């Protein structure tokens, strides 16, 4: 009985759903909209969240890993950007999925996504501080002044101002948007996400 529970997500139906949602995530990941400085917004994690809520956190992580792995094919940062995307997205989907799976209600889904959004906001600041900014400074032979000049945002004249005034709010906006879109379309798509596949 225990073995069945542990491997229940590895059914043909779920693997099919994972493949379809991963493909949708990859397509949405390509459709990026510039927002501020060098940050771009995409809805690639909407299918990831849909899969997480429909099948559980582990299938959600698999969908995310497939999205980021395939994204390496068009990465312009030697994979560092996709690694950061994977880690920040984990901070969103894992809390959301775990909280929802404790009791599958609309209220818990909303609370889970709010917690996940806050986690992703904090993770975004820390990952940019310790991974992305050092990588870009090394790869493009720039110091922090060069990064700030490239960002080109008035009043943002230090690393922490960039992180707290741009990076943090951007990830907060992204998390809210992903949560809002997922919340609006999950119920209408629920019959498809849970349909029997033979």
CA angle 132-40-170, nearest 5°?
Answer: 75
Query: Does a structural domain hold residue 79?
Result: yes
Query: Does a structural domain hold residue 149?
Result: yes
pTM: 0.89
Q: How much is the pLDDT for 110?
A: 94
Number of domains in the chain: 1
Distance separating alpha carbons of residues 70 and 48, to the nearest angstrom: 14
Query: Does a structural domain hold residue 198?
Result: no
Look at residues 44, 118, 119 and name the one whose alpha carbon lies nearest to residue 81: 44
Hey, what are 162's tokens? 């960039």
Query: Does a structural domain hold residue 32?
Result: yes
Q: Which of the 8 DSSP states describes residue 41?
A: E
Specify the residue for token string 């992180």.
163
CATH number of the domain bearing residue 30: 1.10.1760.20
> Where in the sequence is the domain holding 38, given as residue range(s)?
2-193
pLDDT tens digit at each of 198 positions of the chain? 344 444 566 788 889 999 999 999 999 999 999 998 888 999 999 999 999 999 999 999 999 999 999 998 887 777 888 999 999 999 999 999 999 988 889 999 999 999 999 999 999 999 999 999 998 888 888 888 888 887 888 888 899 999 999 999 999 999 999 999 999 999 999 888 877 665
Query: Does a structural domain hold residue 184?
Result: yes
């Amino acid at each position: 009985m225990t073995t069945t529970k542990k491997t229940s997500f590895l059914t043909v139906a779920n693997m099919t759903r994972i493949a379809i949602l991963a493909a949708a995530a990859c397509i949405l990941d390509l459709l990026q909209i510039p927002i501020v400085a060098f940050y771009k917004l995409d809805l690639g994690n909407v299918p990831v969240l849909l899969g997480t809520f429909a099948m559980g956190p582990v299938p959600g992580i698999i969908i995310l890993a497939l999205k980021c792995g395939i994204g390496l094919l068009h990465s312009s940062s030697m994979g560092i950007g996709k690694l950061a995307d994977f880690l920040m997205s984990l901070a969103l989907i894992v809390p959301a999925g775990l909280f929802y799976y404790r009791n599958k209600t609309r209220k818990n889904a909303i609370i889970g996504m709010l917690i996940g959004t806050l986690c992703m906001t904090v993770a975004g600041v820390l990952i940019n501080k310790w991974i992305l900014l050092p990588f870009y400074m090394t790869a493009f032979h720039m110091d922090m002044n060069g990064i700030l000049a490239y960002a080109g945002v008035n009043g943002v004249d230090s690393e922490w101002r960039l992180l707290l005034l741009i990076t943090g709010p951007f990830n907060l906006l992204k998390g809210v948007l992903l949560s809002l879109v997922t919340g609006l379309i999950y119920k209408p798509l629920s019959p498809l996400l849970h349909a029997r596949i033979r």
